[in-house]
Structure 1
Amino acid sequence: MARIPSAERRADLVAAAVRMIAAHGVDGATTRRIAQEANAPLATLHYCFATKEALFTAVFEYVAGQYRDVLTRNDVRGDVQTSARALLRGVLQWYLANPDLGAAIIELISWARRQEDKQGEMVYNEAFATMRMILEAASTKAGQAIRPDTVDALTYMVSTLSDGFALNWLVFTDRAAAQRQAELTLGALDAWMAVNLDSGPMVQAPEAAPEENLRSLMSWVSGN
């Protein structure tokens, strides 16, 4: 059997750790389970990562990199409103496509808080920095005069709206409802930008009329 390169083996173990953390939580994601999921000997895991904490550090770095890649892929290079909307839509669709990553992020950040660890902050700080850079570049290119604190607030809004969406998606796992909720979430961002950005609101309308979206929301909440 061909020998698997160390970097590839480490990547396999990190991906397996994400799946096991999503399925069993941090405490249930034992090194034995992770090694079995990666189809690797337990000794190989301990060779690649001296401790479980070292493995989790690599997982945090992987998650931060994935989030950063999603943001940069959705940098549409339009004005601030267009860019912010594209960033939020991209993150929402990423959560829909990668429920294991979303579940693992929540588990890992909760674990890091219990350990008084700052790695959860690292994930968010990297995401904030990437969003801020994209939005500031959009502001400059479009000639929009937007205060730095407003850019920071917009960055926070994108992050908070995506977090709320992700949590609801993980709880209810109803893809059709989640697609409708994505449009409602984008509408909430549009409303905030209409009030807080001098250059005015996005003119792009959601896929459904507001009345239809409201009925969809109430139907989803009531379980119908």
Structure 2
Amino acid sequence: MARIPVAQRRRDFIDAAVEVIASNGIDGATTRRIAEQANANVAMLHYCYDSKEDLFADVYEFVATRFREVIEQSDPHTTVLETAQAIMRGVMECYYDSPAFGATTLELINWARRQHGDRGIAVYDQAMQVGLEVLRRVAAEEGVAADVVDEIPYVIGTLSDGFAINFLTYGDRAAAKAQMDITASVLDSWLSARLAAGPAKPARRKRAASA
């Protein structure tokens, strides 16, 4: 039997960990369960990773990379509105295609916040930054103000995360498809109005009262 390269074994363990974390949570994601999910033995897992936390760090990086890929692949190079819609639909489809990915993402963010403080928000920061870079490229061609563009990734994150939690709670795939359209319409309504309003006006300073 051909020997499986360590890099492939690591990827197998990452994929297995995503499934196990989604089903059992961080505390229940034992090395034995992860090894069994990967059709390997615990000794092989420990050969590839010095500790379970090292494996979780790779899972965390996998999640962050997946968000970057979804956002970059969702760039249609058209209008800001169409680009924002494509990004959000891409993220929602990612959750829809793999409920385990969504569940593991939420578990890992909470775990990282407890274990590493600010590292727990890194996956959000990275996704937001990639989304912002994509939107800024399109906005520069369309002439959309920077302060409008800066708000969009936050709104996309809020709406898509709400969709993910609802889908994980009820697990209704037929309803989830309809909810994607509803969520997209919310983004469309907000962003269309926001683009029409233009840049936010700076707050007017109050004139000092006369002595």
Give TM-score, length-normalised by structure 2. 0.90
Could you say which structure has the larger radius of gyration? Answer: 2
Q: Which residue of 2 aligns with 1:219?
A: none
Q: Tell me, yes or no, if structure 1 residue 45 matches structure 2 residue 42.
A: no
DSSP-derived class of the 1:107 partner: helix
How big is the alpha-carbon RMSD for the aligned residues of Structure 1 and Structure 2? 1.4
Does residue 1:189 correspond to 2:187, yes or no? yes
| Structure 2 residue aligned with 1:151 | 149
1: CA distance, partners of 2:120 / 2:190? 27
User: Helix, strand or coil: the match of 1:188?
Assistant: helix
Instruction: Tell me the equivalent position of 1:77.
Output: 77
- What is residue 65 of structure 1 aligned with on the other side? 65
Partner amino acid, structure 2, of 1:83: T
Can you list the C-alpha shifts for 1:149-191, whole angstroms capped at 9, x where unaligned? 3222111001110000000000001111111111110111011
1:41-190 alignment runs, 5 A limit:
41-141=41-141, 143-147=142-146, 149-190=147-188
- In 2, are the aligned partners of 1:144 and 1:199 still within 8 Å (CA)? no
Matches of 2:9 and 2:186 in 1, distance apart?
A: 42
Report how far residue 199 of structure 1 moved: 7.9
CA displacement, residues 39-82 of structure 1 (integer Å, 9 cap, x when unaligned): 11211111211111111100000011111111111111111001
Please list the CA deviations of residues 171-216 of structure 1 after superposition, one character each: whole Å capped at 9, or x if unmatched.
001111111111110111011112211389xxxxxxxxxxxxxxxx
Match of 1:34 in 2: 34
1:24 match: 24
Q: Is the contact made by 1:57 and 1:119 (CA closer than 8 Å) also made in structure 2?
A: no
| Equivalent AA in structure 2 for residue 195 of structure 1 | A
Letter in 1 for 2:93: Q
SS in 2 for 1:197: helix
Which stretch shifts more, 109-118 or 173-182? Answer: 109-118
Identity across the alignment (%): 46
For 2:101 and 2:150, how far apart are their aligned partners in 1?
Answer: 25
Distance 2:133 2:188 in 1: 20
Counterpart in the other structure of 1:217: none
One-letter amino acid of the structure 2 residue matched with residue 115 of structure 1: Q
CA distance in 1, matches of 2:159, 2:92: 9
| In structure 1, C-alpha distance between the alignment counterparts of 2:116 and 2:94, rounded to whole Å | 28
Amino acid at match of 1:162: S
Unpaired runs of 5+ residues, structure 2, are 199-211
